[in-house]
Chains A and B, each alone.
Chain A
């Protein structure tokens, strides 16, 4: 993927899969479009440092960038637009109908229901710990204080809860990385 034509072909081939991949991990259509845009912008800007040659290698590289964007988004709660700015590219304005189309394409309604169901299956301790740490973004000392347990126990509950959720959801999300 050395020039703009190859980039256009890559986008045409992979854009929808990347958008769905991100949307199912952020559960937000608008954020997913932003992160998709930044992922492709970063891919274009980093094309010279990419050494792969097969289609599978290109795809793996693209998803590596996408995962990095998702992780960064979850960590900071904001969408990075560095590569987009450097390229002077604008993300189009998203309208309600676009959101519906992205949500349909990513099956977000079903996934949200699934996530809610899996949260219910967790033990009360784990659910409360996840609620405080992941949803309310409290620090571990705060989680510990709120639950009346030691910080170490709070960490363990959060960790176990996340693993249980991941186990439950992985069969649904597995295989979406690479077609």
Chain B
């Protein structure tokens, strides 16, 4: 037994004494509750209880149609439960929103894996209460995830996020299946500890209110022999210090320095205010970080600096950008038990010391003057730090405090593409052969704002066009997913722009949009194909190829054209052949189509979309000498891409790389792993859920895909992510896993299991890092 007092006791003590003092003050004031007769309090309590019961009864406003199962062929055998093996675990975990209790359905897959499906139980049926407060049954023969049974620890473990909205809150559901040797499973998160019941299928589940990055759940499985396994989900195990905003904290990092030097740096984690959200015209690409400060490992050192927005010089080893001003004290102590005290900002404050690096960090509001602060270690002043090369740091002037707003006002360029209003004109019209409203093409001239830096050899002038349904009066509207529409403007994001100088010497291509009936459906059906372009005024004539016989294009000003084709033309390889003023003939095809990329059943794996949309496929293919590796959606048997809220799709691989060789694999590196993360970072405000599947399943926006290639010696690959653990079998050397939303810190750990019994592990940061 150690006599060292655990430091967390001081933290707990401070909180308890604070609460005790507040309770005492409230009692001295004679708060209302203290004077209310007991009978009245009981009456109020009963009323509150009745109100709670009423809330539970009214949370659900009806039943919706059952959530459909994934399409046949999009669920690999290791994720297909065997009929009759499924059972609920009777965990009966209360729903924080007052809906049906949560449970885990366990089953066994065709390959002997253990599978789980989590949901809420209503009248003995497993389902989910959607954001529209309708309960929908989950498909009976489907599983969320499956994994090979483990002898100790967790066979399956994860933290799944369900988005909130209306009366429903964001939820983090920690769940899994414990190995037979596990005797106790405890989840902690958001300051709460829950000892979970293990059901007859060895499943466990706990529900926390909040997103995973708010809850930072952790799972501890204790074995019969006393050993234990702790799994962190949104918690990287880094040493954290709070930010004055109380949102995303700071994480301490060690850096390499010259021999015998210890170097400490830090960065702020991502969160709702990190990086600082900015108005249009200014961007803040990264969270704030501070530079490494170094010192000898046997002495305490510290630096105290003020960092203000946009005060960075080229070559500095940190990023501050347009994040709010902070005054930061950071350094290291000679040992983990040293007493580090920060003075000069109110009462002296003892700083926690990271037991691994011995570093410490305090982040204060940027208005605090760093010259007034001092740091002592074990009562002695600290030494001045040096840089990573061991050299003394040049003295720096303390920058004056300034707000982000004041800088943004000065530097923002709200509209980098400046439209010439008098140039906006409708140039082409086209009828819809499917009987829908007519379409129109609009052009305008623009130039790049002179405050934007270098623009290349083609200058600042732009010729732009946009397409949409002709709404009359020069207005265009664009159909969106879910039957909504948006008005098409004349900004950079509304259309396609090209440099007239570039078009004078190069051949522009067509854009091809295939509008479908429901872009969120498992199998969207094409309704019409819209083909448009702006070829420039050096083109004399043009033809559309690939849609039956060559079709002459009716060119308008600036070489514009617009054609709407019927659904029978969807998926064709369309090209434009143009004859230019100098007599030359050029052919161009639509952008983004991966040549040589095609679905070959023996060399691709197809899996269902977690949000109920079109299935995903990863694979390799070869046309002639060109090989293609891709991850994409598959619609109508063809590779396709889906774009956020747009109501159209594009045929061709969404994410592909082509080359002439095969992926380089060796016995030491038998797999390649690639993670594609969504644009929506964890912790940032989410767009509203608008599609029916997202509302029904409460899925997060965007997708994270983990794909890769494995050598023939790899029999299976176990993926451990912040969401779950799953074991995949490569098909033709390809593997793929798809998750809704973004991961929120921690790591993705991929372990390849080889025929000779070896395991090779690769670790990748789960968030964008």
* A106-B22 in contact given A15-B12, A37-B16, A112-B226 (Cβ < 8 Å): no
Whole-angstrom distance between the alpha carbons of A40 and B194 in the complex?
20
> At the interface with chain B, which of A5-13, A61-69, A140-148, A162-170?
A5-13
Please determine whether B9 and A79 come into contact, CB atoms closer than 8 angstroms.
no
Residues of A within 8 A of B8 (CB): 33, 92, 94, 98, 101-102
Please determine whether A96 and B230 come into contact, CB atoms closer than 8 angstroms.
yes
* A77-B195 in contact given A3-B24, A11-B13, A116-B226 (Cβ < 8 Å): yes
Please determine whether A95 and B237 come into contact, CB atoms closer than 8 angstroms.
yes
* A28-B222 in contact given A12-B13, A92-B8 (Cβ < 8 Å): yes
Assess whether B661 is interfacial by the CB under 8 Å rule.
Answer: no
- Shortest CB-to-CB span from A81 to chain B, Å, is 8
> At the interface with chain A, which of B109-117, B183-191, B538-546, B633-641?
B183-191
Q: Mark A97-127, 1 if CB is under 8 A from B, else 0.
A: 1111110111100101101100000000000
Residues of A within 8 A of B72 (CB): none
Please determine whether B13 and A92 come into contact, CB atoms closer than 8 angstroms.
no
Assess whether A174 is interfacial by the CB under 8 Å rule.
Answer: no
Residues of A within 8 A of B216 (CB): 93
Please determine whether A11 and B16 come into contact, CB atoms closer than 8 angstroms.
yes
Q: Find A104's partner among B4, B19, B225 (CB 8 Å cutoff).
A: B4
Q: Find B2's partner among A11, A33, A104 (CB 8 Å cutoff).
A: A104
Assess whether A60 is interfacial by the CB under 8 Å rule.
Answer: no
* A92-B226 in contact given A8-B13, A87-B19, A102-B6 (Cβ < 8 Å): no
Closest residue to A92 on the B side, CB-wise? B11
* A7-B5 in contact given A15-B12, A33-B12, A90-B191 (Cβ < 8 Å): no
For chain A, residues 1 to 33, give those with C-beta under 8 angstroms from any C-beta of chain B.
3-4, 7-8, 11-12, 15-16, 19-20, 27-28, 30-31, 33
Please determine whether B19 and A101 come into contact, CB atoms closer than 8 angstroms.
no
- Shortest CB-to-CB span from A142 to chain B, Å, is 12
Closest residue to B237 on the A side, CB-wise? A96
Please determine whether B195 and A44 come into contact, CB atoms closer than 8 angstroms.
no
Please determine whether A87 and B220 come into contact, CB atoms closer than 8 angstroms.
no
The interface size bin for chain A is 35 or more
Residues of B within 8 A of A12 (CB): 13
Residues of B within 8 A of A16 (CB): 5-6, 9
* A135-B4 in contact given A4-B20, A92-B191 (Cβ < 8 Å): no
Closest residue to B11 on the A side, CB-wise? A92
Please determine whether B193 and A34 come into contact, CB atoms closer than 8 angstroms.
yes
Closest residue to B21 on the A side, CB-wise? A4
- Shortest CB-to-CB span from A127 to chain B, Å, is 11
Q: Find B197's partner among A8, A45, A77 (CB 8 Å cutoff).
A: A77
For chain A, residues 76 to 91, give those with C-beta under 8 angstroms from any C-beta of chain B.
77-79, 81, 87-91
Q: Find B15's partner among A4, A90, A97, A115 (CB 8 Å cutoff).
A: A90
Residues of A within 8 A of B1 (CB): 20, 104-107, 110
Please determine whether B15 and A89 come into contact, CB atoms closer than 8 angstroms.
yes
Residues of A within 8 A of B4 (CB): 101, 104-105
Closest residue to B15 on the A side, CB-wise? A89
Assess whether B7 is interfacial by the CB under 8 Å rule.
Answer: yes
Task: Give the interface of B toward A (CB within 8 A).
Answer: 1-9, 11-13, 15-24, 183-184, 186, 188, 191-195, 197, 216, 220, 222, 224-226, 230, 235, 237, 239, 354-356
Sampled A-B contacts (15; CB under 8 Å): A7-B16, A12-B13, A15-B12, A44-B23, A45-B23, A89-B16, A91-B191, A93-B216, A94-B8, A94-B188, A95-B235, A97-B239, A98-B7, A105-B6, A115-B226
Given A8-B20, A96-B230, A116-B226, 10 more contacts at CB 8 Å?
A: A3-B24, A16-B6, A28-B184, A31-B193, A34-B193, A101-B2, A105-B1, A105-B3, A105-B4, A115-B226
Task: Give the interface of A toward B (CB within 8 A).
Answer: 3-4, 7-8, 11-12, 15-16, 19-20, 27-28, 30-31, 33-34, 36-37, 40-41, 44-45, 77-79, 81, 87-102, 104-107, 110, 112-113, 115-116, 131, 135-136
